[in-house]
Amino acid sequence: NDYKYRRLKKQNLIPVKRLPDALVIGVKKCGTRALLEFLRLHPDVRAAGSEVHFFDKFYHKGFEWYRDKMPPTLEGQITMEKTPSYWVTRTAPKRVQAMNPAVKLLAVVRDPVTRAISDYTQSASKSVSLPRFEDLAVVNISWGGSQAVAASWPPIRLGIYLRPFKRWLKRFNRESLLLISGERLVADPAAEMARVQEFLGLKRVITEKHFYFNSSKGFPCLLKSESRSTPHCLGKTKGRSHPHINPSTLETLREFYKPFNEKFYELCGINFGWP
């Protein structure tokens, strides 16, 4: 039996756990779960189901601990994991590079204003007494009534993609980091997944045929997946309805993000067209 096992293993017929070949590093509330669930439709992709938080929280546990969190794969299959907080973890680029300098990185980005509202909506769902979004995002800075954007409030701060992006580019080539439009992932998931599959060197298996638009949910959903053979959407916590936000607050936030967005477009070479 031992002999048989070793022979099968040698022929690469027994799946083994491996460190990730590709990581979804962020950005929180931009569609990272959708991206990972869509990728899992591919027979050559295996991904850890929940966020592992190795490069931010559990790095001290070491690479063997990390490997053990991965699903077993055959050679040629891609091992993946997504933890959106890697995007803003200062030590993450260096640590990821130490694991594998040739790792492929994926980050979903989305209009920072909607991202902030999404982030806030998630917090509000956990804490009933949270003040209104408007009062957290824009604050009085003097008795005279002047107001400023609360730039250090995490829902606002995380929408400044420029700074973390620069940090990742200090360690990785631009070609190793694929930026995915969160808006396009909703509007045309098959087209965005075509880019993703090409980037990962995968055959184009995930296509229009996998998706349908669920109009009551307002999002693309899956006709079937590895775990379920009937149509289904992502869970209730993905694609929540957002509160109505005062238009003047939205305008203030758009003005605030504008210069950061423009510099980000310039640096990454993609105009995401956020309003």
CB of 240 to ligand A3P, least distance (A): 4
By CB under 6 A, the residues from 168 to 197 that bind ligand A3P are 185-186
Residue bearing tokens 């209009």: 111
Residue bearing tokens 């638009």: 213
By CB under 6 A, the residues from 47 to 76 that bind ligand A3P are none
Task: CB nearer to ligand A3P: give 77 or 181.
Answer: 181
Residue bearing tokens 């310039």: 266
Task: CB nearer to ligand A3P: give 20 or 31.
Answer: 31
By CB under 6 A, the residues from 22 to 51 that bind ligand A3P are 28-34
| Secondary structure (3-state) at 12 | coil
Maximum alpha-carbon separation in the chain: 81
Task: CB nearer to ligand A3P: give 17 or 238.
Answer: 238
Is the torsion defined by CA of 256, 261, 263, 264 positive or negative?
A: positive
Judge contact between 273 and 181, C-beta under 8 A.
no
In angstroms and rounded to an integer, the radius of gyration of the C-alpha atoms of the chain is: 20
CB of 154 to ligand A3P, least distance (A): 14
Task: CB nearer to ligand A3P: give 36 or 45.
Answer: 36
- What is the per-residue DSSP string for 51-91? ---TTTTSGGG-HHHHHHTSPEE-TTSEEEEE-GGGGG-TT
**118 binding ligand A3P? (CB under 6 A):** yes
Q: Which of 79, 83, 121, 249 binds ligand A3P (CB under 6 A)?
A: 121
CB of 235 to ligand A3P, least distance (A): 8
Question: Residues interacting with ligand A3P, by CB under 6 A?
Answer: 28-34, 84, 118, 121, 185-186, 219-220, 233-234, 238-240
